Amino acid sequence: MKIRLLFVLSLLVSLVPTAPSLAAGDRFALVIGNAKYPDADAPLKEPLNDARDVADELKRDGFSVETGENLTGDGMRRAFDKLYGKIKPGSVALVFFSGFGIQSARQSYLLPIDAQIWTESDVRRDGISLETVLGELNTRGAGVKIALVDASRRNPFERRFRSFSAGLTPVIAPNGTLVMYSAALASVVSDAGGEHSLFVQELLKEIRVPDLMAEETLNRTKMGVTRASRGEQVPWISSSLAEDFSFIPGAGGSRPTMTPPPPPPAPPVVANNPPPAPPAPSPVPPKPADTVAAPAPSPKPQVEAALPPAPPPPAPVIPADPVTAPSMESGPSAAVLAEDPTIKGLTAKIAANPDDVNALYRRGQVYASKGAYSLAIKDFDETLRINPKDVEALNNRCWTRTVVGDLQGALKDCNEALRLRPNFVDALDSRGLVNLKSGAVKNAIADFEAALRINPRLTSSLFGRGIAKQRNGSAQEGALDIANAKAMDPNIVQEFASYGVR
């Protein structure tokens, strides 16, 4: 199921040992806002405004600022090379990145707008490693590095090749580094769709407080984000700074005395007895011009686990789904799809070689992600005609058939995928959805629990198990699963509704 994710904000600051001795020319900043990703449903609203406001603030704070908007991979590499060339021993280097990001092989990557992410190796090929950036700044002599990374948005790439890789991973940074992520490790938050992200609003508020040391500025930012989101977004900080640094240099005098914000509410904890439900954040009504259709669910990912499979549950009897499922003919028109740059490129490859199994499979995924389910199934059909043992295509077709209500066909595909790869966590998750929609709730619970034994943070299985438990009469246990799933992914209710499950 769909996991978007967002890499928003990467600030990298290098400092000299004594803040008051820094001249304006010793502070360099690279500010990047990437919003227009072809694979996303629509351009992101926050990154460009966030990047512009951060750039303006840094200029006021004595930084020499370079900015870039909607940069390709080549553009990002040139921008970083230009920054590296300015660094001298003891100078300050600051990089702000707002856009999509992804974690792979225990590293966090910033993604350019032209990234083509279909496999794990594509991430390393097209992404910009945060650790590499920090390491290069350190090699060039930056005294203190500060990286602020907002990776809280769900991105359209991750679920193409694995089941859970949301958020960022801890960075292994050189000494003299301060790293802040806008959300907890391996976690995501919903995109508010406003003009600015909550993280940047709080960050700018605290940067403007004179004579605060950088660590204090970021800790106050963390508390502000946590409080404003009612505990749903809790930034993560890691520091190895050995010297004081203030974003506003030369303020002098004692630091202002301010009442600290209240401690953040405790996050949901999985336990035998459910905790009281946290208060839900007040919904912000969208402007009429911002009203868009709910994004279509994306194809299922492909992840192979090493744990033994759960005993396969018996095949359920498939009754009619009581909830109206999306139509086979839903999604954009054929004319709109034909102009999509990703689809256009894949179609050209298929025209040149009708048996290009990789292009067929990838186009099927794109069709499914855009709600063109009948076209997606046709491409998965062709993929399986060429290679009947393609478990990823079987799982994707199972999931797509489930969404549109072809539960018998979906069950057959999922069973075959699990026969070929018994530990395939995504097929277990998909079959759980089949059983949930069919009314075979005990089988759904068994499948979701098997998936969660392999990946305890698989939000779709956690939420699906909660729904299934409630339908099976375990209201309290189900509510706990649902509450924890919503804490991990606030969009999960809307996601399941798009599958025809409420």
Other beta carbons within 10 Å of 342: 16
Per-residue pLDDT band for 208 (boundaries 50, 70, 90) equals confident
Q: CA-CA distance, 90 to 96, in Å (whole number)?
A: 19
Q: How large a percentage of the chain has pLDDT more than 70?
A: 73
* Among 56-60, 101-105, 236-240, the least confident range: 101-105
Looking at the predicted structure, is the pLDDT value of residue 411 above 90? yes
Q: What is the pTM of this model?
A: 0.50
Query: Domains in the chain and their CATH numbers?
Result: 7-239 (3.40.50.1460), 300-498 (1.25.40.10)
Q: CA-CA distance, 247 to 50, in Å (whole number)?
A: 17
Q: What is the pLDDT of residues 48-66, one digit of tens each?
A: 998 899 899 889 888 889 9
Per-residue pLDDT band for 189 (boundaries 50, 70, 90) equals low
Mean pLDDT score, 263-289: 41
Alpha-carbon distances, residue 307 vs 5, 188, 382, 425, 431 (angstroms)? 27, 26, 31, 10, 18
Q: Which residue has the tokens 């998936």?
A: 451
Looking at the predicted structure, is the pLDDT value of residue 143 above 90? no
Instruction: Tell which wins on pLDDT, 2 or 32.
Output: 32
Looking at the predicted structure, is the pLDDT value of residue 318 above 50? no
Token pair for 164: 């859970």
- pLDDT for 464 equals 94
Cite the beta strand spans of 72-144 per DSSP E: 92-99, 101-104, 107-110, 128-129
Beta bridge partners of 7: 99
For residues 406-438, one letter each, b for 16 or more C-beta atoms within 10 angstroms of the residue's C-beta and e for the rest, the string is: bbebbbbbbbbbbeebebbbbbbbbbbbbbbbb
Instruction: Tell which wins on pLDDT, 251 or 190.
Output: 190
- pLDDT for 275 equals 40
For residues 140-164, one letter each, b for 16 or more C-beta atoms within 10 angstroms of the residue's C-beta and e for the rest, the string is: bebbbbbbbbbbbbbbbbbbbbbbb
As a 3-state breakdown, the chain gives helix, strand, coil percent values, each rounded to 5, of: 45, 10, 45
Q: Which of 6-10, 131-135, 295-299, 315-319 has the highest mean pLDDT?
A: 131-135
